[in-house]
Amino acid sequence: MLPDKEDGDGSGGAGGQIMSPKGEDPSVSLFREYLRLRTVHPEPDYDGALRFLDRIAVELGLPIKKIEVCPGKVVTILTWQGTNPNLKSVLLNSHTDVVPVFQEHWIHDAFSAFKDAEGNIYGRGSQDMKCVTIQYIQAVRRLKAEGQKFLRTLHLTFVPDEEVGGEKGMETFVRHPEFQKLNIGFALDEGLANPGNAFTVFYGERNVWLGCLLSKGLPSAVQAGPVMAPGLWRTRRLRSWLNTSQCLTLGDVATVNLTMVKGGVAYNVIPAEMDAGFDLRIPPTVNLQEFEKMIQGWCKEAGDDVTYDFAQKHMNQNMTSTQESDPWWNAFSQTCKEMDMTLQKEIFPAATDSRFIRAVGIPAIGFSPMNHTPILLHDHNEYLNERVFLRGIDVYKKLIPALANVPASPDEA
């Protein structure tokens, strides 16, 4: 799609690259080019993304490998080999897909990558997470141009279908033999923007349980409302904790959202069956077995005809160490400290590919270097300021060497 005319962008440069508008940093131009790729569900242009990454691999002089984890779903891997490839590697992960848009609610075309006078770049994926993809790429480009070499091998992975649950992307890829060959010791994945001065860092995620309460039979159908009430009441109470002196964040509490109600044939007929769908998010600090027993108790109180079932039920409670004695965290946090960055550690409130990486025993940090930025992932008019974007490249340019040069541990010697 062509950019908005107000921008004055041109296209068709050497090698098919977008030519940088006068005065615009080439990294910003590359970011905007990537934003214009319509990798949006329900029909993401993954072929366009693969062609883009093919070109990037050539520009960086890095070998590229493509793994089709299921028909039409390809994971792309760029590899920068370290001086000691026997050591565990560092993974920089990002996803290529973005969530749908409702264009009528956007002030600019969601795939035009429009940049306003203040340097705000509008586009679906500008925060989630095409910005991080280009920041990885440009940081690596600069490090290679300086002739730097690192102890550990660095892998950049670009995965599909994160925004639809990951079952055709990273969740499948971590079970693939090619993933095992990467020998990953530590991973970076996406985080969230922070409206304040701090940079949010995520060391764990809430478990996603998507399920339903099913009420069958005329007598029990009347009980569908009461069986929902305890969950909704508890949700309200849990959320109220966020305003207390305990300083909890959304990721610290369990939440239950009623998302669907199905059943009934007429206003004046009691339905024979009702189905209430819920989205539950449960912190890794919660005993999941006890939590499910609580749900069983709600159903028992409602009646024998009330049951529940889960369409999705994640049970991983792995969290990444944020102790200064941990070599990976120490390298990450000390490098941020040297850049005068304030880190705010949290449990991620939603779900990213980090959960699949942690589930196979690999420590992962969710981090997007976006402070002084409103949280707009999945929202209308998603944007990122170009100054924040460019600062993020500088951040990764410092973080990558620090992580890729973590000394060999005793079990790697």
* pLDDT, tens only, 150-185: 999 999 999 999 998 666 899 999 999 999 999 999
Range 293-318 average pLDDT = 84
Asked if 162 is an active-site residue, the reply is yes
Residue 37 to residue 254: CA distance in whole angstroms: 36
Confidence at residue 413, expressed as pLDDT on a 0 to 100 scale: 66
By DSSP bridging, strand 184-189 and strand 89-95 are parallel
CA 270 – CA 284 distance, rounded (Å): 40
- Please say if the pLDDT value at position 402 is more than 60: yes
Strand-pairing partners, residue 207, are 282
Residue 108 per-residue DSSP state: S
Domain 207-313 has CATH 3.40.190.10: no
Question: For residue 26, what are the CA distances in angstroms to 22, 225, 271, 382, 400?
Answer: 10, 57, 61, 21, 21
- Each residue of 278-294: pLDDT tens digit? 888 999 999 999 989 98
Q: Where are the domains of the chain?
A: 5-191+352-404, 207-313
Alpha-carbon distance 34 to 114, whole Å? 12
Evaluate whether 162 touches 189 at the Cβ level (below 8 Å).
no
Predicted pLDDT of residue 255: 84
Question: How large is the average pLDDT for residues 65-69?
Answer: 97
> 162, 189, 190, 205: which is the annotated catalytic residue?
162
Give the pLDDT score at 100. Answer: 97
Per residue in 324-343, pLDDT tens?
A: 999 999 999 999 999 999 99
Task: Please give the share of the chain, as a percent, with pLDDT higher than 90.
Answer: 69
Angle between helices 130-145 and 26-35 (to 10 degrees): 140
Instruction: Output the furthest CA–CA distance in the chain (Å, rounded).
Output: 76
From 33, 97, 128, 189, active-site residue: 97
**Average pLDDT, integer, range 46-69:** 98
* Interior angle at CA 171, CA 168 and CA 174, nearest 5: 120
**Domain 5-191+352-404 shares a fold with domain 207-313:** no
Q: Is the pLDDT of residue 9 over 70?
A: no
273: enclosing H helix or E strand = strand 273-282
Burial zone of 181 (CB within 10 Å; 0-12 exposed, 13-18 middle, 19+ buried) = exposed
Question: Residues 86-104: what's their mean pLDDT?
Answer: 98
* CA contacts within 13 A on the Cβ side of 223: 19
Taking the CB of residue 177, how many other CB atoms lie within 10 A of it?
7
| CATH code of domain 5-191+352-404 | 3.40.630.10
Region for residue 65 given its phi and psi (left: phi exceeds 0; alpha: psi -120 to 50; beta: otherwise): beta
